[in-house]
Every structure is written in structure tokens, then in C-alpha cells.
Amino acid sequence: MSLLKHKFSRVIAAAAIAAGLSAPAFAQETPVAIGISGWTGFAPLTLAKEAGIFKKNGLDVTIKKIPQISRHLAIASGDIQCAATTVETWIVWNANGVAGTQLFKMDQGMGSDGIVARNSITSVADLKGKTIAASGPGTSPYFFLSWVLKKNGMSIKDIKHVTLEPAPAANAFVAGTGDLDAAVTYEPYLSLVNSKPESGKLMADSLKYPAVFDTFGCTPKFIKDNPKAAKALTESYFEALDMIKADKMKAFGIMGADVKQTAEAFEKSQSKIMWADREENMKFFNGQIQAFNAEAAPLLLETGVIKAIPANLNALFDTSFLKK
């Protein structure tokens, strides 16, 4: 080999090594683990992952299905850094020492959450003394049940509570097991109950009792250490909504597959959900969440879910990442 060729080969090799060393740094994605449930309203997060939206925006996302009742434990342990859950749950977590900051509103139940009861029960007042299945204290179903009872002059002490997650609660209610008089569940499991009118009927839902608002948030540390990732998570959600608008059946197919539904079945499940776009987010965090928290926090205190209301409820959300 000539000296010129030898030098040329060394230059090429050095360039290749340099490229190999720099490529991973250039393409590095911020890892983030997100805790959710199978709730239909959280599906845009699944869409953002499966459609490559998160990856395109520089995120290496892992989605973990964790029951709401134990999701805060996963945050506290560091197993996840972010989560989707209901607004009042952020109050509960923060009141109990698990810090979390909401970044954006995801959805609002418009009849997608409900209390189903046996056909012999004719009103919410008739639930007094009855056996009702719902998730445990600190969860959305438990809160929704407490909220509906409160609005009808009762409390959780006036019923017999059986702890069952939304899917098992719906299945047990339809199967007639557990001596249940009523159950609290949500989509897609609410559709199962509604398809079996002989088992019971819808007694109250989140359309008549607007108390189900879902938001996405992360630990303050993650947000402080990864502001670009927090912004990317927010924008990825809005891009997922854009994809739903652009090709809804394709999007429904991807989201439905995650909960073993066809695109058509998922379309039906999401019909009673309102996903929040950027404009709706700005409205929600400019008055609506404050009004809701003013009622929710005292109810959580009254039901013993929290021992004290956080000093500043407005500190539980950060709207700076909503701006384009």
C-alpha cells in the first residue's frame, strides 16, 4: 500500500470512528416511564407511542399499566416519572407526600364514567345501605361515588363499599357475583354493562355529575431536570389529537388494540369522552380547575382520603408548557 493510500485509509477510519461515537449522542432520546390504566381517555398516549410521535419528538417512552390505587407508589419509588390520572388524585398524592405537577388536561368524562345499579333500584337515594363495588380510597371511582352521594345528601358511610377495580367491578356486576347492588366503572368496561340491560342500568354518570377530569403530570424533579422532555410530552399529546382528527379510524384501531377493541368498538367507547385540545386546556387551567378543586379538596378531607388540604392547590399544575 502506498503512503498516500495508507494516510487516506487512516483518515476514513478516523472519520468512521468519530461518526460512530457521535451518532448515539446526537440521536439520544430522553427516557421516561408513564403510568396509566386501560381507561379510554388515556389512549392518545398509547397512540403517541405506537405511531412514533413520542420518538419523533425525542422521547423514549415506556407505558406501564398500573392501577390508580397504587400508581403513586410507582412514582414514589422512581419506577415511573409521569402519570395520567384524575385532577383530585393529584391533590391526594401531593397531600400524602408524593409530589406531582400537572402539565396538561387530557380528557373529560361526558358520560364515560358511571354508577350502574340493579333494575330494582330506582334512584340514587335508593343506594343507601346497598353494597357497591368501586376502587379503593384515593381513586377516581371512589371519588366519583363520594361526589354523587354528596350531591344527593349522603356520604360513603351510608353504603357498603366493596373494593373492586373498574374491570372486575363491571364483570362481577354483570355476572351477578359478590351480592353487588351497584358498581362504579368506566369505559370501555361501562359498555359491557350497558350491553346487558338485564343485569342493571345506569344510575348516574359523569355527564350529569361532571366530576371526572383527567390530566397528565410528572414529578417536579423530572420537569426541572428535563424541561425539553416536558414540552415534548405536551406537544406529543396534541399531535396525537391531530392524528385522530386526520385519520380517526386508523387512530381508533391503534388505540383500540391496546384494550382488545376493534376500531369500531373503540369509536363507541370514546364517544362519551371529550379530549382537550390546546384551547380547551387554556380554559381549564384558567378558572375551571380552581372551581373544581375548591369542592374536591374538602370532600377528600371529609371522606378521610387526605389528612390536610395542600396549602397551595394552584402549585399542583404548570401551564408554561402549553404555549406553542
DSSP string over 31-79: EEEEEE-S-GGGHHHHHHHHTTHHHHTTEEEEEEE--HHHHHHHHHHTS
Answer for the pair 182, 153: CB distance below 8 angstroms, yes or no: no
In a domain, 277, yes or no: yes
The Cα–Cα gap between 146 and 165 comes to 16
Last residue of a domain, one of 205, 233, 250: 205
Indicate if 295 and 229 belong to the same structural domain. yes
Indicate if 173 and 310 belong to the same structural domain. no
**Which alpha helices (H) appear in the chain, and where do they start and end?**
3-27, 43-50, 53-56, 68-77, 87-95, 140-151, 166-175, 189-194, 220-225, 227-246, 248-258, 263-269, 278-283, 289-302
In a domain, 6, yes or no: no
In a domain, 118, yes or no: yes
Indicate if 104 and 245 belong to the same structural domain. yes
The Cα–Cα gap between 175 and 193 comes to 10
Indicate if 103 and 239 belong to the same structural domain. yes
Give the per-residue pLDDT at 80: 98
Indicate if 230 and 308 belong to the same structural domain. yes
Q: What is the pLDDT along the chain (324 residues), one digit of tens a residue?
A: 443 344 434 433 444 434 443 333 345 899 999 999 988 899 999 999 999 999 999 999 999 999 988 999 999 999 999 999 999 999 999 999 999 999 999 999 899 899 999 999 999 999 999 999 999 998 999 999 999 999 999 999 999 999 999 999 999 999 998 899 999 998 888 988 889 999 999 999 999 999 999 999 999 999 999 999 999 999 999 999 999 999 999 999 999 999 999 999 999 989 989 999 999 999 999 999 999 999 999 999 999 999 999 999 999 999 999 988
Give the per-residue pLDDT at 105: 98
Answer for the pair 317, 99: CB distance below 8 angstroms, yes or no: no
CATH of residue 105's domain is 3.40.190.10
In a domain, 172, yes or no: yes
Answer for the pair 34, 61: CB distance below 8 angstroms, yes or no: yes
| Residue 165: alpha-carbon gap to chain centroid | 15
Last residue of a domain, one of 205, 227, 258: 205
Indicate if 177 and 251 belong to the same structural domain. no
Indicate if 194 and 317 belong to the same structural domain. no
pTM confidence score? 0.85
Indicate if 131 and 270 belong to the same structural domain. no
In a domain, 9, yes or no: no
Indicate if 41 and 69 belong to the same structural domain. yes
The Cα–Cα gap between 62 and 10 comes to 41
Which percentage of the chain shows pLDDT scores above 90? Answer: 82
Give the per-residue pLDDT at 27: 53
Cβ neighbourhood burial of 321 (10 Å; 0-12, 13-18, 19+): middle
The Cα–Cα gap between 252 and 43 comes to 9
Distance of CA 301 to CAs 42, 178, 290, 295, 297, Å?
27, 29, 17, 10, 6
CA neighbours closer than 13 Å in the CB half-sphere of residue 106: 26
Give the domain extent around 283.
27-109+212-322
Indicate if 61 and 173 belong to the same structural domain. no
In a domain, 316, yes or no: yes
Indicate if 102 and 225 belong to the same structural domain. yes
Indicate if 128 and 46 belong to the same structural domain. no
Domains in the chain, number: 2
Last residue of a domain, one of 205, 227, 259: 205
Peptide bond into 210 cis (omega under 30): no
In a domain, 247, yes or no: yes
Beta bridge partners of 160: 131
Which percentage of the chain shows pLDDT scores above 70? Answer: 92
In a domain, 17, yes or no: no
